[in-house]
Amino acid sequence: MSELPRRIGGLVLVLVALALPLVLSDFWLQTGLFVMATAIGAVGLTLLVGVAGQLSLGHAAFAGIGAYVYTWSTGESTTTVSGAGLPPVVGLVLAAAVSALVGAAFSPVAGRLRGIYLGLATLGLVFIVRHLLVNLDQWTGGFTGRSVESFALGGFSFSNKDPDYLAVAGVEFEGLHRLWYLFLVLTLVGCWLAGNLRSGRTGRAWANVRDSETAAAAMGIGVARAKASVFVVSSAYAGVAGAMLALAYGRIAPDVFGLTASVDFLVMIVLGGLGSVGGAVVGALFVTALPLVLAEYSGSLPFLAAPGSGGLDPATTARMVYGLAIIAVLLFLRGGLAGAARRLRHRTSRTSPPSPAGPAPHDPISTDDVGRPAAVTPSRSKETTR
Amino acid sequence: MSYFLEQVLNGLSYGLVLSLIAAGFAIVFTSTGVLNFAHGSIVLFGAYLVAVLHPTIGFWPALLVAMAGCALVGVAINALLVRHLADKNAGTAAILMLGVDIVLLTELTRRIGNKVLTLGAPWGASVVRFGDVSLPTGRVVAAGLTVVAFAALWYLFSRTDLGVGMRAAAADGPTASLMGIRLSRTAATGWALAGVLAAVAGVFLTSFPAPGVAPTVALSAFAAIPAWVLGGFDSVPGAVVGGLIIGLTSALVTGYESDLAGVVGTGFGEVAPYVVMIVVLLVRPSGLLGSKEAVRV
């Protein structure tokens, strides 16, 4: 697979994303904002879980920290809640920095534990952070939450005001349209950084720790340090994702960042394929958009019932679908959607005519990704040995 | 003083219920190496079965059916899903169980809806008095049954071929297999045992003073995870010790909430188990009674 078609494909995708606000309705724009925000979080988590092999159930806790740091630092003080009134850009940087710092503070735990043990420790983080968010109500607004100041960059506001009227090609650009471009830039930068980290020296060290801590230590990698560093990086991603979620919601409450949200992040990266940046984005698209789209179109989908009636309401259906999807991916689709796409590319580029779609008639465990027996090719490439 | 004693007894009896769930985590983990995130849903499933069946067949038969049902669900999860994982390691198995948990919990939540189902337990909301200390009857029954359950577990693991086989399989799977122990059978037994314990725990987790069977029960069963981690990942006696400590901690923190609120805020009782867990993982990663994991180079 040469690099060129990939690059062209990526460029086309970016151009499409740039043009979309011209045609999409407000509902789809809002959905897009949520997708991009969760995609950033998922990319951070795929570095931790997929590349470095450390399970985390606490990702939503860091997203919550980021969201509240942004909201507090940019908000104005009122009679009920305090705020620092800083510029939004500073707030965004602070959101990432504070999340990363909390991740670093957790590194004595993160560096010593591994795999599922770390997953259990981070499970506690979700509950502790939620408890703090509810109880520190002079900063967070307590259980009911607080509203979020809109983003602005040097006098240009990413809301419906300042400038009051802005039109591109005859389409009025309101807050949602403006935020779309801000989020697009953040998502692209986040993915690009993650891709570089993953394929660079740091990422190879992380992958080494995942495959064998003993071997990694023997090769001179500081294992505890590597585990702590990937935890900090993924926390920073979660912080940015949290700030973006806060901007997309406009109002945040502690329950948004509960265990369910953490599990959702994990579902995204497993569906997309552990360790794959593009897969994480696709997973975020699926998991975030599905319940929103089902709810929006529930009137025209006859099998959906009204919420609370005991039938299949949109939220229940969406959870059912991605619960089953994750089981199916883990049982049948090694490497998630990204792995499947890779196998498909390999097959179409090496055999002509391309074999019909469908799984190769090989045992998925004892063969490598192009369908040859693993014993024949002992040195599988790093990317395909998830 | 009697208030303090009441909190302690409350905590210990609640802790015994938690230790039933924690033992389920430990048994599944030692027999198949799976971190069973769906265990909370299985606990809820057991309570749900009892709530649905007790009007027609009575409470105790319903409990027996629930025990069998939960055991069956566990065995099915192991046979149909865990054994067929494309990429077998503890991490993907844990994520698989999260997927199973989503499906089970969503379905149970849909069936229960906004209702709080009653359990029809014969002890109802009655209270037992010891001098000036009172304790819900359900908790006393729970403590008694838990002791019986753990005695049975001890007998199984130390006196029967099956239990000894399970211990051998946990200690060294390949060697045990060479000695003629069927690993598929020990694994299935482990999942079934965990299911039985989950059903019993589910009943006591939802009877008085709890309001009844509601989807949140699956989350309160999560409080057993700190108990399991505290005791050590592979130790059933550890699960009992861990359960008691966690039960005591959360009962005391909740009982003295008004005195503690200035320091830790309200509702700390739900969080305290996780704080204890993180501290334990920090100073003693293999728990109080767990075996240290040796790394061979």
Nearest CA to CA, how far is B83 from chain A (Å)?
A: 9
Q: What is the per-residue pLDDT for B294?
A: 53
Q: What is chain A's alpha carbon radius of gyration, rounded to the nearest angstrom?
A: 22
- Is there a domain that residue A211 lies in? yes
Query: Is the pLDDT higher at B40 or at A156?
Result: B40
A-chain CB neighbours of B268 within 8 Å are: 131
Structural domain boundaries, residue A70: 17-256
Contact criterion met (CB < 8 Å) for B277 and A121: yes
Under 8 Å between Cβ of B66 and B203: yes
Average pLDDT over residues A135-163: 79
Average pLDDT over residues B133-154: 89
- Is there a domain that residue A103 lies in? yes
Average pLDDT score over chain B: 87
Contact criterion met (CB < 8 Å) for A316 and B106: yes
- Is there a domain that residue A364 lies in? no
B-chain CB neighbours of A218 within 8 Å are: 297
Whole-angstrom Cα distance, residue A152 to residue A165?
A: 15
Q: Give the contacts of B3 (CB within 8 A, at least 6 positions apart).
A: B255
Residue A353 pLDDT greater than 60, yes or no: no
Min mean pLDDT across A48-52, B52-56, B206-210 is at: B206-210
Contact criterion met (CB < 8 Å) for B271 and A263: no
- Is there a domain that residue A349 lies in? no
What b-and-e string marks burial along A5-35, b requiring 16 or more CB atoms within 10 Å of the CB?
eeeeeeeeeeeebeeebeebeeebbbbbbbb
Contact criterion met (CB < 8 Å) for A320 and B84: no
Which among A121, A136, A320 has CB closest to B106? A320
Burial of A4 from C-beta contacts in 10 A (0-12 / 13-18 / 19+): exposed
A-chain CB neighbours of B271 within 8 Å are: 127-128, 131
Looking at the DSSP bridge assignments, the partners of residue A172 are A167
- Is there a domain that residue A324 lies in? no
- Is there a domain that residue A129 lies in? yes
Residue A2 pLDDT greater than 80, yes or no: no
Which among B90, B96, B274 has CB closest to A128? B274
- Is there a domain that residue A102 lies in? yes
Under 8 Å between Cβ of B277 and B230: yes
Query: Is the pLDDT higher at A258 or at B72?
Result: B72
Question: What is the DSSP code (8-state) at residue B117?
Answer: B
Is residue B216 less than 8 Å (CB to CB) from chain A?
Answer: no
Is residue B22 less than 8 Å (CB to CB) from chain A?
Answer: no
Which among A125, A214, A263 has CB closest to B98? A263
Whole-angstrom Cα distance, residue A255 to residue A261?
A: 9
Q: pLDDT digit string (tens) for B148-190?
A: 999 999 999 888 888 888 888 888 888 888 988 888 888 999 9
- Is there a domain that residue A286 lies in? no
Mutation for B interface: A117, A264, A270, most B CBs within 10 A: A117
Is residue B219 less than 8 Å (CB to CB) from chain A?
Answer: yes
Is residue B294 less than 8 Å (CB to CB) from chain A?
Answer: no
Average pLDDT over residues A23-40: 91
Whether omega for the bond prior to residue A353 falls within 30 degrees of 0, making it cis, is yes
Mutation for B interface: A116, A122, A385, most B CBs within 10 A: A116
Nearest-5° Cα angle at B178, B172 to B184: 70
Residue B181 three-state SS: coil
Average pLDDT over residues A7-11: 83
Nearest CA to CA, how far is A272 from chain B (Å)?
A: 14
Query: Is the pLDDT higher at B76 or at A293?
Result: B76
Instruction: Say how many domains are in chain A.
Output: 1
Min mean pLDDT across A229-233, A250-254, A263-267, B254-258 is at: B254-258
Contact criterion met (CB < 8 Å) for B95 and A316: no
Helix axes of A26-45 and A259-272: crossing angle, nearest 10 degrees: 80
| ipTM exceeding the 0.90 mark | no
Contact criterion met (CB < 8 Å) for B274 and A127: yes
* Residue given tokens 């920095």 in the structure block: A97
